[in-house]
Amino acid sequence: MHRRRLPIGIQTFAKIRADDHYYVDKTGFIRQLTDEGTHYFLSRPRRFGKSLLLDTLGEIFSGNEALFRGLLIHPHWDWTIRYPVIRLSFGGGMVQDPAALEHKIGEQLRINQAALGLHCTETGSDGCFGELMRLAHAATGRRVVVLVDEYDKPILDNLTTPEVARTMRDGLRNLYSVIKDNDAHVHFVFITGVSKFSKVSIFSGLNNLKDITIDARYSALCGYTETDVDTVFASELPGLDRDEIRHWYNGYNWTGTAVYNPFDLLLLFDAREFRTWWFETGTPTFLVDLLMQRGVFTPSLARLRADEALLSAFDVDHLATEALLWQTGYLTFTGTRQLGARREYTLGYPNLEVESALNDSLVKALIGHPGQASELASRLYDLLAAADFAGLRAHVDSLFAAIPYQWHTGNPIARYEGYYASVFYSHLAALGLDLTAEDASRQGRVDLTLKFNSRIWLFEFKVVELEPTGRALQQLKDRGYAAQYRALGQPIHLIGIEFSREQRGVVGFEVETL
């Protein structure tokens, strides 16, 4: 089998086609888009191929026929028509004040003027943008194609300083409203970014945008499908466990076909090593801090519910936790259902990479001691492998003893009952084991179920005042949580753990093996 070059970090369609790189053909989707509409918006997480998609659109509308020979769109496109294309991208560098934003927009417009051989006489960026559209239409006789990449980056870069983020939002809103004002000169618009900001907040002047973020037909518009992996990348698969590839990296879904993050797969094929490639490129410090401030019960992240209004209600002054986690790619759709007039979505981790890496970041934040958390995680794995319950009891004591006193008194989440279960859950989840939080059965919900090393571990947590009560283990027994696992013929460990708010640690730890 012929092995091509891996397009790691390449966002230029012409370079991919010219230099014998792998290319997953998305032009069938592009044909469908151009047949069915003219003004689009798409939100996808970082490093999902949005920039390459826009560059591909730009090459198609520019009529660069030679690049598309052999691709799905080639026989269905009129290559004699060349549209003037205006491209704006806010992906490079940080923009942290209004003057810098104005400079960035001005720079983009100068690049486009040079590419189109035109010159603006308007001095302000908004005025120049509108003039450029009109001039391009007049000069070519064709309405313009407008492609905007990373439309929201100046806002996202400043979310920790809301007053600056608001300024960025307002400046960008003024820019994007120019597209609507000059609609008579516009043939096609495609805007992409990570976030799905409320249309009221940033696209109030662009109410004709068709949002295809949650459209089953375009779920695989960015990313690689199972079929893509098995066909396009077939030459890369020998020597790699196909099920492991799926377990680690597949699972992103926008109500249609599930996809892999392209960045993960390309680095896996290059290094031949399973690692948290995507997660490592952008540590979500802001996200983790926000989850801590809001006292989020981390086991619930594996199964959240939200409606479309909540997921769309994303703005500088209102960052819904569910919307933030979903839009940044840490959670994805795992199910949908219609409740009368309301459509409800179930959110969960897309794959092992995200679940383990995010929980690793969360447990480090929860115990306030990153170095200690890493050391404890390694020890936990060995204790579980050995089924060493005495060691596990001592380990849980160590885990909570590692948390500085100041962390309890200075951090709001430490006051919540779910805090103790959150710490232990994220501690386990960081190992990437087969873990289910609030596992449902006919008898109720057990707090935590772990399947590991041909054993079933059922954990129940209770918070008590000072003395152990034995209620955690008793509940596991009384409700018969083990019944659904007996048919597996594996040892089942019932583990009741009781935490004391007063002593800030474990006061009860009981084990019974069935």
- Residue 373, in any domain of the structure: yes
Of 96, 203, 159, residue with least CA distance to 323:
159
Cβ proximity of 349 and 331 under 8 Å: yes
Q: How confident is the model at residue 22 (pLDDT cuts 50, 70, 90)?
A: very high
Look at residue 414 in the predicted model and tell me its pLDDT. Answer: 54
| Residue 333 pLDDT greater than 90, yes or no | yes
- Residue 4, in any domain of the structure: no
| Residue 354 pLDDT greater than 60, yes or no | yes
- pLDDT tens-digit readout, 427-483: 999 999 899 887 655 556 788 999 999 999 999 988 888 889 999 999 999 999 999
- Residue 245, in any domain of the structure: no
Look at residue 491 in the predicted model and tell me its pLDDT. Answer: 96
Number of domains in the chain: 2
By three-state DSSP, how is residue 141 classified?
coil
Domain end call among 158, 190, 218:
218
- Identify the weakest region by mean pLDDT among 36-40, 356-360, 421-425: 421-425
| Residue 62 pLDDT greater than 90, yes or no | yes
> Percent of the chain scored above 90 by pLDDT?
70
Would you give the end-to-end CA distance of the chain in angstroms? 52
Look at residue 463 in the predicted model and tell me its pLDDT. Answer: 84
- pLDDT tens-digit readout, 175-221: 999 999 999 999 999 999 998 876 667 776 677 789 999 999 999 99
| Residue 309 pLDDT greater than 90, yes or no | no
| Residue 304 pLDDT greater than 60, yes or no | yes
- Residue 309, in any domain of the structure: no
- Identify the weakest region by mean pLDDT among 250-254, 307-311, 449-453, 465-469: 307-311
Detail the DSSP E strand segments found in 349-454.
Answer: 434-441, 444-452
Q: How confident is the model at residue 313 (pLDDT cuts 50, 70, 90)?
A: low
Give the whole-angstrom CA distance, residue 2 versus residue 4: 6
Domain end call among 197, 218, 239:
218
Look at residue 402 in the predicted model and tell me its pLDDT. Answer: 75
- pLDDT tens-digit readout, 161-175: 999 999 999 999 999
- Residue 180, in any domain of the structure: yes
Cβ proximity of 172 and 166 under 8 Å: no
| Residue 509 pLDDT greater than 90, yes or no | yes
Average pLDDT over the chain reads 91
Look at residue 291 in the predicted model and tell me its pLDDT. Answer: 87
Look at residue 2 in the predicted model and tell me its pLDDT. Answer: 83
> Domain with 82 in it: what CATH number?
3.40.50
Cβ proximity of 58 and 87 under 8 Å: yes
By three-state DSSP, how is residue 239 classified?
coil
Of 470, 474, 462, residue with least CA distance to 500:
462
Domain end call among 218, 240, 274:
218
Look at residue 308 in the predicted model and tell me its pLDDT. Answer: 83
- Average pLDDT, stretch 474-494? 93
CA atoms lying within 13 Å on the CB side of residue 62: 19
Domain of residue 174 covers: 25-218
> Percent of the chain scored above 70 by pLDDT?
94
- pLDDT tens-digit readout, 72-123: 999 999 999 999 999 999 998 889 999 999 999 999 999 999 999 999 999 8
Of 136, 138, 155, residue with least CA distance to 146:
136
Angle, CA of 410, 414 and 420, to the nearest 5°? 155
Give the whole-angstrom CA distance, residue 142 versus residue 129: 17
> Domain with 454 in it: what CATH number?
3.40.1350
- Residue 239, in any domain of the structure: no
Give the whole-angstrom CA distance, residue 249 versus residue 48: 13
Look at residue 366 in the predicted model and tell me its pLDDT. Answer: 83
**HEC profile for 264-281?**
HHHHHHHHCCCCCHHHHC
- pLDDT tens-digit readout, 115-147: 999 999 998 999 999 999 999 999 999 999 999
Look at residue 314 in the predicted model and tell me its pLDDT. Answer: 75
- Average pLDDT, stretch 315-335? 90
CA atoms lying within 13 Å on the CB side of residue 14: 9
- Higher pLDDT, residue 463 or 39: 39
| Residue 410 pLDDT greater than 70, yes or no | no
Give the whole-angstrom CA distance, residue 135 versus residue 153: 28
